[in-house]
Amino acid sequence: MKIVLQTILTFAVTGLVYCKKPEVKPSEQPQGQRSESPAALLSTTTFNVSPSTSFNSTFWSNVQAALATGPVDIIFADGTYTRTATLSLSNIGDDTNLLTLKTAVTEGGAVFNGSIAKLMNVNLCKNIKLLRLKFTGDVTGYALTIVNSQDITVEKCQFVNLPAVSYGALGVHYAASNRIIVKYNTFENVGYDSHAHMIYGAYGIQRLSVVANTFKDCSGSFVRFRGDLSDKGVVYDNDFISTGTYLTGINPVFIEVPVFNDVNPGNERMGTSFMITKNTFNYATAGSQATRYALVFHHTGFNPVDRNYLISAADATTLNSGTVTQKRNIMSTQLGLDGDSIHFGGNTNTNVQYNVVYRCWNGYGSTGPWTGIASIGTAVNATGLATTEAAAIGYYP
């Protein structure tokens, strides 16, 4: 690589240090993100911040201005960042130059907590990486949300001991959210009831890739791809662990693709393109044994105009025990699910009852003829699975 003339600038701005430095090491460059070239020939601007830094509009204006000239690192000093208001990034990012929020070295060295609804929000942003941050404590809604944003990576972060969250450790929301990578993170002890999740993807997200994370003990389903048509999801090489000792001894669903249709006709539909492989699914023999399912397509409520989620008892029987052709026919014509597009296989199970199920509940006043679960594991596609991390992240171009 050519040696780039380096300019050193230092400013004192509301308790932060701002300087130019050479580019980050190649090992820290984001896989699948967009700052490799020509930004790799540019120097990186650094903002060194601490718990006393004011993350005000001037700070973010300076960050955005710096992104016009090259990559930017915001380096969080080790310490506790107790939030009394959400740390918000809005309309931040550059098509070419990567913005990285990270600790200098220590994984989990910058600790975000606070008795508020949300610790951090990334909204209408692009080409950002969050690296080695820790989220914990009594936050009540989400620790981190990514909303209507593209090319965001959350890497080597910790989402641990979040007992008060009502929705999720990490939320990824709305149809403009695309190419979100969540990799090498730790999620543990999240939530207090079935509404809380470790990753709550929802409302039309596309290309959420969940790669090489560790998930241990959640009060609700661990990873969720909720409608409307949240699709092209990848779950690759993760460890899912339910000890059966969390809260009242629960063992929730590991991966869920749900819709909740509380109006008539319904307005949420399930996505149907997923690639799930090389994961370990581990349920303990302790605790409740009622929902030991690796992947669930779930419906509650009324039918949308182009779906019949409220299938008959006879069709439910066929869906559960029929031939592959019979199952796929019901899946495609009534549920809008293409068995060939649901790539599921090569996972390692411990005490898992079902690999893939369809589950239907009445709710919000619906009166469907059947409720329960039907095993559809034989009707999904066990071929065409990614075999490397790079292939998994790039599975849906």
**184-204, pLDDT tens digit by residue?**
999 999 999 999 999 999 999
Q: CA separation (Å) from 93 to 72, 97, 100? A: 10, 8, 10
Residue 19 pLDDT grade (very low, low, confident, very high; cuts 50, 70, 90): very low
Kindly report the backbone phi and psi dihedral angles of residue 234, in degrees, each rounded to the nearest multiple of 5, phi listed first: -120, 130
Instruction: State residue 16's pLDDT score.
Output: 44
For 15, the token pair is 């308790």
Measured between alpha carbons, how far is residue 193 from residues 166, 189, 200, 249, 280 in Å? 7, 12, 14, 12, 24
pLDDT band of 40, cuts 50, 70, 90: low
Q: Express each pLDDT in 107-157 by its tens digit.
A: 999 999 999 999 999 999 999 999 999 999 999 999 999 999 999 999 999
Residue-level pLDDT at 315: 99
**pLDDT exceeds 90 at position 395:** yes
pLDDT attached to residue 33: 52
Separation of CA 71 from chain center: 25
62-97 residue pLDDT tens: 999 999 999 999 999 999 999 999 999 999 999 999
Predicted confidence at residue 38, as pLDDT, reads 53
pLDDT (mean) for 315-330: 99
The residue behind tokens 């619906």 is 366
- pLDDT above 70 covers what percent of the chain? 90
Task: Say yes or no to pLDDT of 308 above 90.
Answer: yes
Q: Which amino acid would we find at residue 16?
A: L
Higher pLDDT, 33 or 270: 270
In this prediction, residue 35 has a pLDDT band, given cuts at 50, 70 and 90, of very low
Question: How many whole angstroms separate alpha carbon 171 and alpha carbon 69?
Answer: 31
Nearest CA to 118 among 92, 89, 98?
Answer: 89
**Residue 12 binned pLDDT confidence (cut-offs 50, 70, 90):** very low
Residue 344, pLDDT > 70, answer yes
What is the rounded average pLDDT of the residues 149-170? 99
- Report which of residues 127 and 28 the model is more confident about: 127
Q: Comparing 128 with 35, which gets the higher pLDDT? A: 128
**How sure is the predictor about 34, in pLDDT bands with cuts at 50, 70 and 90?**
low
Give pLDDT tens digits for 359-370.
Answer: 999 999 999 999
Rounded mean pLDDT of the chain? 93
What's residue 42's pLDDT?
85
pLDDT bracket for residue 41 (50, 70, 90): confident
**What pLDDT does residue 3 have?**
34
The pTM of this model reads 0.91
Q: Is the pLDDT of residue 29 over 90?
A: no
Please give the pLDDT value at position 335: 99
